[in-house]
Structure 1
Amino acid sequence: MSVRRSTALMLAGLATFFVVVLWSSAIIAGAQDIGVYASIGEEMRQIVIGAKSTVTQGYYPPLASMLFLLLQANPFHLPFATAWVLLLFLMVAATVYCLHLVGDGEGAVAFPFLLALAALLLGADVVLAREAVVVLLPLVLSARAWARKRYDWSMASFAVAASLAPAAFLLVPMAALLLPRTDRWRAVRAFLLSLGICLIIPWVLLGSQGMGKIVVSLLHVPPVLSSFGPTDVGGSWLTGVRVASIVILVIIGAMSVFPVASLSRRVRVPPRICVLGMICIAGLLLRLSLAPLPGNGGDMQIEKGWAHSAVGLGIVPSYGRQLDGVMLPNYPPLSMEIFAFTGHAYRLLVSPTYRMDLPAYHVFIKLPGIIADILTSILLYILLRRTRGASTALIGAFIYTVHPAVLYDSAVWGQTDAVYTLFVVGCLVAITSERILLAGALLAAALLTKTQGIFLLPLVAVLLLFHPRWVTRFFAAATVTASVIVSPFWLAGAGGIVLRVYRDSVGYYTAVTMNAYNLWWAFFPGSAGHSDLDRLADILPYRWIGYCLFAISAIVVLLLLQPSVWRKVTDPKRSFLLFPIAALLAYAFFLFLTEMHERYLFPAMALGLPLLFTGIVGAALYTLVSIGYLLNLLGTVSFEAWDRALFAALPSLARIVAVVHIIVFVLCVLEVGRLSGRFSLESALSCLRWLSRRLVPAPLSSRPKNVRADAPAAAKRPRRDRYVRTNAV
C-alpha cells in the first residue's frame, strides 16, 4: 500500500468517522420515537456531553476527547459499529504496512507502532494501549512519507497526530527546519489545512468552548503521559506505571530521532545543538508527565491561592489579603509577579471563570519551575562547553535534566527554587563572559525572587573588589532591574511591603531547622521544642552561632581561590572554579544557618555539577550531596511506599544524612582547594600532623637528653655568632 493511499484512507476514515457518524447520530438523537435509534442518539448525546466536560476540565484536546470516548461506546449499535470497523481496518492496514516496512529493512520507522500494538495484544492496559495505537498511526505514516520525501502528506499526517497528542507540536519547529526550501510552503499549507480540519470539526460538534481551548491544547500533556505515575502521593508508583505509558515515552524519543538524525545533513545546524534540543524536549516531556502528581498538597494550595489572589485582587493587595484564606505571601515581589503571570495565562487560555479545581491549573502552577529547569540545563551546557568541550557539556546537560532531586523539587513538589537558581547560574555565566550589565540584572532578579539568593553576595563582592571597573555597570543594571520589578509597589505607595518581606524573612520561623538535615538536625533531630533564639550555655543564641559559622565558612571558601583566579575569571580554565565555590557557599548556607528548609540546597545541584568532571573524587562528592538532598526531600514529602518504609526501618537515617552532609562539606572544601592549587590533601594531612605535635605534648622518653660535658666535640651543638663582622680592606 502506497503512502498516498494510506494517508488518504486515514483522512477519509476520520472524515467519515466525524461527519457521517457523529452528525447522523446527532440528528437521530432528536427523534425519540424510533426505538433503537433513540437509545443510539441518547448514547451519542452522552458522549458529546462527556467530551465537552473532558475538554472543559483540560484532560484531553477536543479531537482526542471525542475519539477516546467513542471507543468506549456500545460497539453493537450500527453507527458505532461503523466507526469501529473503520478504526479496526485502519489498524490492520497499518499493521500490515509496518510489517512490510520491517521486511524491507526499514523497521525503525514502524517499530513504535508495532511496540504499542504488542502492548495492546499482551493486555498491558487495553484502553490506554488502544489510544496509543490510534495516536501512533498518523505518526508512523508521517515518518514514512517523510522518508519518501512526500513532505506534504507527511505534514498532513503529522497534523492529525498533533491534534490527538499536542505534545507532538514540540517537533514542529524541528520539522520546519528540516523541510527543503522548495517544498516548504506546500508542506506548511498541507499541515495547516489538515490541522484546521481536525480542530474545527470537533469544535463545531462540541459547541463553542472558546478559542483558548485550541490554544491551550498545545500545552496539554498527551493522554497517555498524564497517567504516568501514581494518582496520589500515598499510592504505589509501580501500580501507577503502565506498560503503554513507558511505550509512549519510548515512542516520542524514537519518533524524534528520525528527523534529528537528518538535521545535520539537511540544515546547517551543528549536531550538538540537535542533541541539546532533544535533551531539552525529553526533559520537558518528562516533567510534564510528572506535573499532574499532587506533590506537597499544602504548598500547592498556598501557591494556587497566591496566584488566584494576584489575579483577582492585584499583586500589591494580595500581600494584605488572600481570597482563599491561605497564608499571606512571604516571597519577594518577582515571585508574586511570576505567580500573577501564570494565573493570567491560565484564565486566558483555560478557564475564564478561574476554576481552581481543574487539573490544568495544577500543571500551570508548576510551569515556572519546569521551564526554569530546562533553561538552567542550557546554561550549564554553555558553561561546560566553554571549559570542558561539547561532549562533556551534553553529558552535563543531560545529567541535570534527569537529576532525580531536581525533578522532584520542581515537577513533583511544585516548588520555585529552580527560578532563582536559574538567575544565579545565569549571573555567574554572564560574569565569566564579562557581560556585567546582564550579571547585575540577573543577580537583582535572583534576590527579588527568593531571599535565599543572598548566599551569592560574598562571591560577587570579592569579584567586584578585584575588578573595580565593573562596579558602576553592575550596580547600575541591578538598580534599574530592581526598580522595574518593585515599581508597582512604589507607585501604589506600598514600598514598605517589600522591605517588610526581607525584614521578616529572618525569624519568620523560629525553629533551629525546618526539616533541613543540616548541622542543627545532627544535634536536635526534628528540632521539636528547640528555638533558634535559645542560648548555648546562656551566652549566644543559636541563630547568631549559625551566622558566625556561615561567615567563617564563607571566608574559608573564598580563600580557596588564589588572587590570580579572581583577576582572570573570564579565562575558561580559571572561571570553571567559580561554580564549585558558589556551590560551597550554598552548601554552607544550608548547613550552618538556622530556620533552613530542606529545599534550600537546590542551587548546589546546578552550581556543583562541574565537580562531576574534575575526577573520581569530585564525582563521588557530588553524588553523595545529591543523594543526601534527595533523601531530605523524600523524608519531608514522601513519594512512594518504599521511601516511607526506608525511613520507618531506619529511624536515625535523617540524623545520619545530616552528619554525612557535614563530612562531605569538609571533603568538598579540601577537593576544591586541591583543584585551585591552594593546597592538596597531602599538605592538609601534614598540617594536621604539625598541629598534633604542637598541641599534644611528647612523652618523656622521646625528649632529647642533655649532652654531657665530656661528650665528643662533634656531638656538641656548634656555636654560631648572630652577627659576623668583616673588616673591609
Structure 2
Amino acid sequence: MRLLKNRLFIFIFLGLILRLSLIFLDFSFDVNNHMAWGKDMWLRGLSNFYDLRSSEVYASAYPNYPPLANYLFFACYLLRLVIFKLAWWLNIAFPIFPSKLILFIDSRVFEAACFKLPAILADLGIAGVVYLFAKKLAPKNNWAKKLAVLSVLFHPTFFYNSAYWGQIDAIPLFFVLVASYLLLFSSRYFTSAMFFIAAILVKPTALVFVLPYSVYFLWKFGWIKSVRAFLLAQAVFILSFLPYISNQNVIFYPYIAYLKKIMEAQSLAYITNNAFNFWMIVAPPANIKDLVISPLGISYKAIGYILFGIVGALAIHYMLIAKDKITVFIFANFFVAYGAVIFLTRMHERYWLLCLPFLLLFTLQNRHLWKWWIIISFISFLNLYHGWSVPRIEPLVFVLVNRYFVLLVSIVNTSIFIYLFVQYLMENWRPKVSDRLFFN
C-alpha cells in the first residue's frame, strides 16, 4: 500500500509537469474573458458586476460566470500581480536578475498561464478523488487503482482542456466528484452538499448531476437532513452573490442573476455548439437557433429538455430499485451527463469531460466496459480538437472539417449512447439475465 501511495504521488507529479509544460504554448479565447473579469473586479469592485460591460473589447460584453468562478479569476489576477511586483523588485534590487524575464511576466501568455492554474489543480484533484473511489470500489485491485489515476492524469481530453485551452470545466467536475464520494461513503451530508453547491457556483454544467445527487441524498439521509442541507446550500448560494448586489432584492437577485445573467448568457443559442451529438445529425452543420419551432410544433430546446428528462427519469427510477445503489448511482451520473451532451441544446465539445470520470469509475468493476471508455474518450478528444485545432495538424483538420465525417461521428456517438442506455435499462428491468454487459 505504501508503494502504491508513493507511485500515486509520482503519477500526480508527472501529470503536473505535463500540464505545466503546456500552459505557455497557447490559450483559447475564453481565457481573455477570465483575465478581463479578474482585472475588472480588481479595478471596479463587485457591485453591479453583472450589469457592467467588460473593460476589454475582445471579452464577452458582460460577465456571465457564477460568483465562485469570478473569485477564482480574481485570485489568479492577484497572483499574477504579486509575481510581477516581486519580479520587478528583484530586477531593481539585484542587477544579475534577467530583465527580459520582466517582459515575459508582463505578457498576455504569462497572465493566461496564471489563469489556467485552478483547472490544472482540479485535474490533479479529480485524479486523487478517482483513486479514493477506486479504493472503495476495487479495494484489492491495485492495478485498477493505478490505471484509474493514470486514465485521468494522462487523458488528452483532460490536460488539453485545462492546461492548453485554459477552460475551467474540470473545477465543477472535481467538486461534484468530491460531493458524490462524501455522499456515498460517509455521513458528512453538510460537507457533501457544500461541495455540490460549490460546483454550481463555478459553472452551470454541474446542474446536470442535480437529479441523481438529490434523489440519492434524500434516499440515504431522509427528509429532515435533506431539508437542512438544502437550506444551508441556498444560504451559501445567496451569500456568494451578496458582494454583487447594489440595490437589488437580496433574496431574489441571486436566482434571477444566475438564470438570466449566467445560464442564458453563457452559450450561443444554437441547437449545438460544436458537440458531436444528436443535433448534428438532425441539422448539420447545426446552425439553427434552439428557440426556433421544430416540425413537431415545439422548439428544439424543448425537445432537448424532453429527451434529457426521459433519460434522467429512467436512470433515476432504476437507481432506486437497484440493490447495489452505489454502483448504479455512478452509472446514473454517467448517463445523465452523457445524455445531456447528446440531447440538450447549446452543448459544447468540452462537456464530454463531464461523463468520463463516472464511466471510468464503473469500468473498475467491469472490464467489459473498457472498450467503451476508450471509444468515448477518443471521440471526446476528436471533438475537442475539432473545436479548437491547435496545434494545427493539416491532415487531421482536413478530415475533421468534413461535414460527412462530423455527421458519421455524431451518428456513432448517439448510437453508442442509445445502445449503452438500452442495455442499462434491460439489465435492471430483467435482473436475472445471466449474460450481462454491465452488472455481471
TM-score, with length taken from structure 1: 0.52
**Partners of 1:599 and 1:557 in 2: CA distance:** 23
Q: Which residue of 2 aligns with 1:324?
A: 56
Aligned-residue offset at 1:619: 1.0
> CA contact under 8 A between 2:27 and 2:164: conserved in structure 1?
yes
Report the AA paired with residue 479 of structure 1: Q
Query: Could you tell me whether the CA contact under 8 Å between 2:193 and 2:230 is conserved in 1?
Result: yes
CA contact (8 A) 2:49 2:244 kept: no
Task: Supply the distance in 2 between the matched residues of 1:562 and 1:276 (Cα, whole angstroms).
Answer: 35
Deviation at 1:617? 3.1
Within a 5 Å distance, the mapping from 1:408-419 to structure 2 comes to 408-419=160-171
1:339 matched to 2:73? The reply is yes
From the superposition, tell whether residues 614 and 554 of structure 1 become closer, same or farther in structure 2 (CA, over 3 Å): same
Q: 1:281 to 1:348 in 2, by over 3 A?
A: same
Q: Find the aligned partners of 2:107 and 2:254 in 1 and give their Cα distance.
A: 30
Change (3 A) 1:653 1:351: farther
| Match status 1:478 vs 2:236 | no
Matched residue SS, 1:282: helix
| Distance in structure 2 (CA, Å) of the matches to 1:477 and 1:394 | 37
Offset of 1:484 from its aligned partner?
3.8
3-state SS of 1:457 partner = helix
**In 1: Cα distance, 2:160 partner to 2:109 partner:** 19
Structure 2 residue identity aligned to 1:274: N
Q: Quick one: which amino acid aligns to residue 230 of structure 2?
A: F
Give yes or no for the alignment of 1:503 onto 2:260. yes
The CA deviation at 1:286 is: 0.5
Q: Whole-Å Cα distance in 1 between the matches of residues 331 and 146 of structure 2? A: 19
Q: Give the structure with higher Rg (CA).
A: 1
Matched, 1:556 2:314: yes
- 1:312 equivalent to 2:69? Answer no
Counterpart residue number, 1:514: 273
**Equivalent residue for 1:244?**
none
From 364, 372, 384, the counterpart of 2:114: 364
C-alpha contact 1:510 1:532 (8 A) present in aligned 2: yes
SS in 2 for 1:536: coil
Query: For structure 1, which segment, 277-286 or 357-366, has the greater mean C-alpha deviation from structure 2 after superposition?
Result: 357-366
Q: Is 1:428 the equivalent of 2:180?
A: yes
The answer to whether the Cα contact below 8 Å between 2:305 and 2:344 also exists between their aligned partners in 1 is yes
Give the number of the structure with larger relative contact order, counting CA–CA contacts within 8 Å between residues 6 or more apart: 2
Q: Is 1:489 aligned to 2:223, yes or no?
A: no
CA contact (8 A) 2:15 2:153 kept: yes
Q: CA deviation at 1:671?
A: 4.5
Query: In the alignment, does 2:297 pair up with 1:539?
Result: yes
Q: Aligned residue for 1:25?
A: none
Relative to structure 1, is the Cα distance of residues 317 and 412 closer, same or farther in structure 2, using a 3 angstrom cutoff?
same
**What is the Cα deviation at residue 404 of structure 1?**
0.9
Which of 31, 50, 58 does residue 300 from structure 1 map onto? 31
Matched residue of 1:535: which SS? Answer: coil
Given that 2:38 and 2:70 are in contact with CA atoms closer than 8 Å, whether structure 1 keeps it comes out as yes
Alignment of 1:279 onto 2:11: yes
Q: Which amino acid in the other structure matches residue 38 of structure 2? A: A
1:621 and 1:668 in contact (8 A); partners too: no
> Which segment is superposed worse, 433-442 or 358-367?
358-367
**CA shift in 2, pair 1:358/1:527, >3 Å:** closer
For residue 230 of structure 1, what is the aligned residue in structure 2? none
1:444 aligned to 197, 212, 217, which one? 197
Identity %: 21
Give, as a single letter, the amino acid of the residue that structure 2 aligns with 1:509.
L
Which of 631, 636, 639 aligns to 2:387? It is 636
Output the CA distance in 1 between the equivalents of 2:145 and 2:240: 33
Deviations along 1:648-682, whole A, 9 cap, x unmatched? 5x542211121111111122224545776754878
Q: Deviations over 1:242-265 (max 9, x none)?
A: xxxxxxxxxxxxxxxxxxxxxxxx
Following superposition, the deviation at residue 498 of structure 1 comes to: 5.8
2:400 aligned residue: 647
Equivalent of 1:612, from 363, 367, 379? 363
How far did 1:546 drift?
0.8
For residues 510 and 400 of structure 1, the distance between their equivalents in structure 2, rounded to whole angstroms, comes to 31
Cα distance in 1 between the residues matched to 2:423 and 2:230: 33
Q: In the alignment, residue 637 of structure 1 is paired with which amino acid? A: W
* Structure 1 letter corresponding to 2:371: A
- AA matched with 1:489: Y
Q: How does 1:133-144 map to 2 (within 5 A)?
A: none
Give 1:666's aligned residue. 418
Amino acid at match of 1:470: K
Question: SS of the counterpart of 2:21?
Answer: helix
In structure 2, relative to structure 1, the CA distance for the partners of 1:492 and 1:416 (3 Å cut) is farther
Is contact 1:421-1:446 (8 Å) kept?
yes
Deviation per CA, 1:477-530: give whole Å up to 9, x if none.
4134324422322477585366234235237632111111111111111222x1
Deviations for 1:441-460, whole angstroms, at most 9, x for unmatched residues? 01111111111111111112
Pick closer, same or farther for the CA change 1:599–1:482 going to 2, 3 Å.
same
AA aligned to 1:394 is: K
Secondary structure at the counterpart of residue 322 of structure 1 = coil
Contact 1:423 1:445 in 2 (8 A): yes
Distance between the aligned counterparts of 2:39 and 2:418, measured in 1? 44
Query: Structure 1 regions of 5+ residues with no counterpart?
Result: 1-268, 566-572, 686-729
Q: Deviations over 1:143-183 (max 9, x none)?
A: xxxxxxxxxxxxxxxxxxxxxxxxxxxxxxxxxxxxxxxxx
Partner Cα distance (1:393, 1:684) in 2: 24
Following the alignment from structure 1 to structure 2, what is the Cα–Cα distance between the partners of residues 480 and 579? 28
CA distance in 2: counterparts of 1:585 and 1:514, whole angstroms: 19
What residue is the counterpart of 1:118 in the other structure?
none
Contact 2:48–2:246 (Cα < 8 Å) also in 1: no
Once residues 334 and 85 of structure 2 are traced to their aligned partners in structure 1, the CA distance between those partners, rounded to angstroms, is: 41
1:294/1:464 Cα in 2 relative to 1: closer, same or farther (>3 Å)? same
Name the CA shift for 1:487/1:270 in 2 (closer, same or farther; >3 Å). farther
Residues 678 and 406 from structure 1, CA distance in 2 versus in 1: closer, same or farther, beyond 3 angstroms?
Answer: farther
Mapping 1:384-399, distance limit 5 Å: 384-389=134-139, 391=142, 392-399=144-151
Change (3 A) 1:291 1:494: farther
| 8 Å CA contact retained: 1:562, 1:676 | no
* Whole-angstrom distance in 2 between the partners of 1:407 and 1:597: 17
Are 1:453 and 2:206 counterparts? Answer: yes
Secondary structure of 1:559's match?
helix
Q: 1:492 to 1:533 in 2, by over 3 A?
A: closer
Aligned AA (1:383) = F
**Normalised by the size of structure 2, how large is the TM-score?**
0.85
Aligned-partner SS, 2:201: helix
Aligned length: 407
In 2, the alpha carbon distance for the partners of 1:538 and 1:438 equals 44
For 2:397 and 2:214, locate their aligned partners in 1 and report how far apart those are by CA, in whole Å: 43
- How far residue 628 of structure 1 moved from its aligned partner, in angstroms, is 1.3
Q: Shift in Å at residue 313 of structure 1?
A: 1.8
Structure 2 letter corresponding to 1:307: G
Matches within 5 A, 1:24-423: 270-296=2-28, 298-319=29-50, 320-325=52-57, 326-327=59-60, 328-351=62-85, 357-389=107-139, 391=142, 392-423=144-175
Aligned partners of 1:517, 1:564: CA distance in 2, in Å?
32
CA shift for structure 1 position 304: 1.8
